[in-house]
Structure 1
Amino acid sequence: MTITEREQHILECLRADPMISQQALADRLNISRSAVAVHIMHLMQKGYVAGKGYILAEQSYVAVVGGANIDLSGRSAAALRMGDSNPGSLSVSPGGVGRNIAENLARLGSVVQFFSVVGQDAWGDQLLAACRSAGVGVDHVLRPADVSTSVYLSVLDADGEMKLALNDMAALKYLDATALEKRAGFLDRAPLWVLDANLSEESLYWLFQRRAHQRVIVDTVSAAKVGRLIPYLDRIHTLKPNALEAEVLTGVVVQDAASAKQAVAVLHDKGVERVFLTLGGQGALYSVSGSSLWLDALPVQVVNVTGAGDAALAAITHATLQDWDAEHSARFAMAAAALATTSAHTIHPHLSETALLQLLEASDAKIP
């Protein structure tokens, strides 16, 4: 997208002083502060400015597009009794597949810009504050006046395994083709996109039609939503399904490593370059262009499995940006998933690249 002469002048000022205030820019260019704000908004929409501060587009970033919600999680103190009140514990934390991946990525050290929708309510404030605290750019998050922040409710058994979940993601209807088009420049300038299947069919169509040089990494979210990805499998660089989601995409019933390989072969035939197929506590299959590697789950004390998949996908994305080889990338992702399950929160508060590498070293030391 082209920029005006005035926008070019503002860009030059921002390059010289990224922390300059809008009023200082207005004084320097002899225009009003409100005019500066409008020009900066246009530069953000065109992708030349990626966030406050001001982060210029020359700084490479990952664009994460997907859901943001509050996680309400309940864990039973004993075996679940369906249809009855179960003693247990309850927790509230920031969540959403896209948002979780974005925060995990930032904690690992990647530069991230997040695009989603939250309400103008206390939970929306909490989600954005958590993102900013982790270093995630949220200047492109929409906050319509007439929408409530999305909520994800999960029920876990005494072992931390999820038995039931409900989600209200109606807010994402605002992240439509029109909203995406207004931010086309911001998306175009990111070399890598991370998408989740919470996005509507309209949004996914726009994104995959718009995709040019970007590598696209996709989280399948759930068996109910993964079918939306079927038309675009040949445009997906990396896909992270679980067993149920892989079955929807391939027709293969995945129960073990052997059946996982069959499903992954089908996905490669459909055009997916790289697959990370997870089987919970059994482990995962990591496959790149037909060369696969099975990895056992790391032995840890499981507290909550809710954020394991999001952490694993963030780790894969971070490894992709670092150009790590397949085995190191896969093991790094397994470490991220394992660490995530040891916290009651959806995102482990001490997640970092160093923490995961140390976990891998400790795991290797236990192997005779």
Structure 2
Amino acid sequence: MTNDSEILCIGSVLWDVIGRSSAHMRAGSDVPGRITMVPGGVALNIAMGLSRFGITPTLLSAVGRDAEGDRLVELCRSMGLGTGLLYRSDDLPTDRYMAIEGGNGLIAAIADAHSLEMAGDKILGPLADGRLGSADTPYRGQIALDGNLSSDLIAQIATSALFAAADLRIAPASPGKAERLMPLIAHPGATIYVNLEEAGLLLHAPMPDAAGAAAALLGRGAYRAVVTDGGRMAAMAGPGGLVEASPPEVLVTRVTGAGDTFMAAHIAAERRGEMPDPALRTALAAAAAYVSGDVPS
């Protein structure tokens, strides 16, 4: 194995096109605001968050060999992210995500991760060919994995020897893709990070609060579950029991990427040796700083 990465981030690496307005919006609203195009995707957002905490991540994803892909990879390199193991396709374009955010939160979003889905298990090549590991000597480090992968690939990962020894951290990417993660719930080394809506989709029943959802996910076979609920109490359930914490109250100026920031901060806190309660509070504080605009995109 030749890789020096501290953690792998597997999933979407793309461009975020975000329209933001301070006005409260509804379907059909036409308001003034700002439109930005920044590096994004769940795996990349987590990687950027980890980098801000002094952790060196390596990206496993699909990025096109188009001009947008070249620019995206160069920006990732400039941030100290490992890009040498990305699958670069000649015939698949670089993916995009588009969202509209108003003063009342996320109005709508579309994730175009078709190239990542079409690339399939090609992005996992380094885990099988000896660069990061193989079926006989699987990767033993941390892996942050997002739900933008295809359902077939997620099902393959759930039983793959390549992931059997990993400390697997899982994010659904969006409520619409949460149920893709069902095969991974029982993975013996997995921590699943979901919001309350996503937890309800995985459990096929609405949950009243984060604590109940985290406990119910353990009841379904999860090793560890972390559940957030916006500005309300968050919870983590695992072998050590259940802990809850309330996020700081802040003025919300953006929402896209908040969950990814939370997950990165929680991973970083645990790597520093923080116990469950302070690690959860650290992650909530980082997410609050992000949504308030105190952390750069």
Q: Could you tell me the TM-score, scaled by structure 1's length?
A: 0.73
For residues 238-270 of structure 1, give each alpha carbon's deviation from its aligned partner in whole angstroms, at most 9, with x where no partner exists.
111111110111133134xxx322222221122
Among 92, 98, 101, the alignment partner of 2:37 is 92
Among 108, 123, 137, the alignment partner of 2:68 is 123
1:272 partner letter: A
Kept after mapping to 1: 8 A contact 2:236/2:243: yes
| C-alpha distance 335-129 of structure 1, shift in aligned 2 (>3 A) | farther
2:260 partner letter: D
Higher strand share: 2
Q: How many residues are aligned here? A: 288
Among 188, 195, 203, the alignment partner of 1:242 is 195
How much does 1:178 deviate? 4.3
For structure 1, which runs of at least 5 residues remain unmatched after alignment? 1-47, 51-58, 351-368
Structure (1 or 2) with the larger CA radius of gyration: 1
Kept after mapping to 2: 8 A contact 1:118/1:149: yes
User: For residues 64-213 of structure 1, what are the structure 2 equivalents within 5 Å?
Assistant: 64-159=9-104, 161-181=105-125, 183-184=127-128, 185=130, 186-187=132-133, 188-208=138-158, 209-210=160-161, 211-213=163-165
1:349 aligns with 2:296: yes
Local SS of the residue matching 1:118? strand
| C-alpha distance 84-112 of structure 1, shift in aligned 2 (>3 A) | closer
2:192 partner letter: L
For residues 315-343 of structure 1, give each alpha carbon's deviation from its aligned partner in whole angstroms, at most 9, with x where no partner exists.
12222323321012101111221121123
User: For residues 1-368 of structure 1, what are the structure 2 equivalents within 5 Å?
Assistant: 48-50=1-3, 59=4, 61-159=6-104, 161-181=105-125, 183-184=127-128, 185=130, 186-187=132-133, 188-208=138-158, 209-210=160-161, 211-235=163-187, 236-255=189-208, 259-289=209-239, 291-343=241-293, 348-349=295-296
For residues 5-59 of structure 1, give each alpha carbon's deviation from its aligned partner in whole angstroms, at most 9, with x where no partner exists.
xxxxxxxxxxxxxxxxxxxxxxxxxxxxxxxxxxxxxxxxxxx222xxxxxxxx4
**1:154 and 1:289 mapped to 2: Cα distance?**
37
**1:172 and 1:110 mapped to 2: Cα distance?**
25
Kept after mapping to 1: 8 A contact 2:47/2:57: yes
Local SS of the residue matching 1:297? coil
| C-alpha distance 190-78 of structure 1, shift in aligned 2 (>3 A) | same
**2:27 and 2:117 mapped to 1: Cα distance?**
33
Identical aligned residues as a percent: 31
**2:223 and 2:29 mapped to 1: Cα distance?**
46
The farther-off stretch of 280-289 and 305-314 is: 280-289
| C-alpha distance 306-134 of structure 1, shift in aligned 2 (>3 A) | same
Kept after mapping to 2: 8 A contact 1:288/1:326: no
**1:178 and 1:79 mapped to 2: Cα distance?**
42
How much does 1:297 deviate? 1.8
For residues 155-196 of structure 1, give each alpha carbon's deviation from its aligned partner in whole angstroms, at most 9, with x where no partner exists.
11124x112111111110343234424542315334111100
Q: Which stretches of structure 1, 4 residues or more, deviate above 4 A after TM superposition?
A: none
1:289 partner letter: P
1:153 partner letter: M
**1:171 and 1:225 mapped to 2: Cα distance?**
16
**1:272 and 1:130 mapped to 2: Cα distance?**
36
Kept after mapping to 1: 8 A contact 2:15/2:38: yes
**1:263 and 1:79 mapped to 2: Cα distance?**
30
Q: Could you tell me the TM-score, scaled by structure 2's length?
A: 0.89
1:25 alignment counterpart: none
Kept after mapping to 2: 8 A contact 1:77/1:86: no
**2:44 and 2:236 mapped to 1: Cα distance?**
24
Kept after mapping to 1: 8 A contact 2:290/2:296: no
Local SS of the residue matching 2:252? coil
**1:226 and 1:128 mapped to 2: Cα distance?**
27
Local SS of the residue matching 2:176? coil
